[in-house]
Structure 1
Amino acid sequence: MQFLLRRSSMRQISKLCRVAVASLGTAFAAASFGAEVELVGVFGAKAVLIVDGGAPKTLAVGERTREGVRLIEVRGETAVVEVDRTLRRIALGQAVLRADGPQAASATVSLFADSSGHHFANGMINGAAVRFLVDTGASMVSIGLSDARRAGIDYRRGIPARTQTASGPAMVWKVRLDTLRVGDITVHGVDGLVHENDLPFVLLGMSFLGRMDMQRDGDRLVLRKRY
């Protein structure tokens, strides 16, 4: 019965806004990852949150859940919430751990697969907003030309090389990224490749993922910073 109610509530929400939701197994697995706040939908100045794996709650700015999570701001596909007296920004489809969760000692982010099984994330490179696609098959973070320019990367000072892509050989430059952020995880000095052409998103490769502990549970991918 709980499963039917949960799916019904998700269908209602999806008619109002763009929603990223986990599968049933993912939702009930939340308890094993600690107390957390997930952003599963945004529309207008309202956000839809799931707190500690419970039912979705729609909040207007200034409103607070029964668990004490307060919505501070909604901007684009992100929201700022006050959790345990701390302001946290969450991207759509991501989650942050509350301070009383067992994993709170290290920065952690949860990503949920889309309908095609890919894990996307909103984040930043050198302070510039980008869209990431998790790619464990990529040795380094790969960035298209436009994203690199917006991030202020002087790629021409990098190490030039040629790489093989699906479209054939391509020119790339190996660079060092000052900062890379996904959710609450920030890493400095990440190796990256800037491509001579634009890419639809930034490939989040092993030069970043190699610094994480990664755990999968159904459609859910949890990244936990190691260093």
Structure 2
Amino acid sequence: MRFFSLLLIFALGCHAGIVNALPDIQVNGLMKNQAVVTIDGVQHILKKGKTSPEGLTLVDVNTQQATFEWQGETVAMGLTSRIQTSFEKVDKSSFSIPKGPDGHYMTLGKVNGRQVQFLLDTGATVVAMDYHDADRLGIRWRSGRKSMSSTAAGLVTSYQLTLPSVTVGHLTVSNVQASVIVAEMHGPLLLGMSFLQYFDMTEKNNTLTLEKKY
């Protein structure tokens, strides 16, 4: 990766005065006609042919890779691959999430190393999911502590348990309290305070930044 970065810097240098430095790009998800990318720490969902606020255009995408254009330069990247044009240490203490069109903050993340979609919910005490998601993630939820949870549909049976790890961007918390709802949620997992309590949350310009508390 270091050698590749050096080659990239050299290539960009050949166009000095024409092409600005390529931002820090990470591919988090590849879907039909769109890609989830993190650009300089800010996550975006880019549709094919669209350009991010930073000026990065998604030219083409499939399940294997995404092709981007940056000021006339074309770069192909696979899932989770990353390009950086400097050797400065990446700030892993914070992560930014843009507000969605519906006014909510949603982001890709991982539960026990498996990819999920989260909806940030400061009103939720714990990370919450329905039993279908729990089964998909290989969680043995029936061994949890049985209880009742209040939902929009009323009281439902739930199981309280501890997740070994929850990750958003490059932020990981171990031993996170969670609730598995024995009902249909039909949506993303709720990222509640059992994860969010470890971060300061700052909202600015329709972007929410999570920063580790020290």
Using the size of structure 1 for normalisation, the TM-score is 0.64
Q: Note if 1:162 corresponds to 2:162.
A: no
Residues 54 and 127 from structure 1, CA distance in 2 versus in 1: closer, same or farther, beyond 3 angstroms?
closer
Deviation of 1:195 after TM superposition, in Å, equals 0.5
Which residue is equivalent to 1:122? 108
Residues 140 and 37 from structure 1, CA distance in 2 versus in 1: closer, same or farther, beyond 3 angstroms?
closer
Cα distance in structure 1, aligned partners of 2:58 and 2:126:
38
Q: Note if 1:220 corresponds to 2:207.
A: yes
Q: Note if 1:191 corresponds to 2:196.
A: no
CA distances 1:121-158 after superposition (whole Å, capped 9, x unpaired): 11111122211100001110111111111111111111
Within-5 A mapping of 1:62-81: 65=70, 71-73=76-78, 80-81=81-82
Which residue is equivalent to 1:94? none
Select 1:211's aligned residue among 180, 198, 203: 198
Which residue is equivalent to 2:46? 41
Secondary structure at 1:156's aligned position in 2?
A: helix
CA distances 1:7-61 after superposition (whole Å, capped 9, x unpaired): xxxxxxxxxx5599xxxxxxxxx9xxxx556544143xxx8665xx633334565
Report if the CA contact (8 A) 1:38-1:49 is conserved.
no
Residues 184 and 170 from structure 1, CA distance in 2 versus in 1: closer, same or farther, beyond 3 angstroms?
same
Indicate the structure (1 or 2) with the bigger Cα radius of gyration. Answer: 2
Residues 154 and 85 from structure 1, CA distance in 2 versus in 1: closer, same or farther, beyond 3 angstroms?
farther
Secondary structure at 1:198's aligned position in 2?
A: coil
Q: Structure 1 regions of 5+ residues with no counterpart?
A: 1-16, 21-29, 87-98
Deviation of 1:116 after TM superposition, in Å, equals 2.0
Cα distance in structure 2, aligned partners of 1:36 and 1:166:
34
Cα distance in structure 1, aligned partners of 2:43 and 2:75:
13
56-65 vs 115-124, which deviates more? 56-65
Secondary structure at 1:172's aligned position in 2?
A: strand
Question: Which letter maps to 2:81?
Answer: V
Using the size of structure 2 for normalisation, the TM-score is 0.67
Which residue is equivalent to 1:57? 57
Residues 178 and 159 from structure 1, CA distance in 2 versus in 1: closer, same or farther, beyond 3 angstroms?
same
Which residue is equivalent to 2:166? 180
Residues 118 and 38 from structure 1, CA distance in 2 versus in 1: closer, same or farther, beyond 3 angstroms?
closer
Cα distance in structure 2, aligned partners of 1:63 and 1:39:
14
Residues 119 and 176 from structure 1, CA distance in 2 versus in 1: closer, same or farther, beyond 3 angstroms?
same
Secondary structure at 2:195's aligned position in 1?
A: helix
Which residue is equivalent to 2:84? 83
Cα distance in structure 1, aligned partners of 2:136 and 2:175:
18
Cα distance in structure 2, aligned partners of 1:218 and 1:166:
30
Q: Structure 2 regions of 5+ residues with no counterpart?
A: 1-32, 61-65
Report if the CA contact (8 A) 2:42-2:95 is conserved.
no
Secondary structure at 1:149's aligned position in 2?
A: helix
RMSD of aligned alpha carbons: 3.3
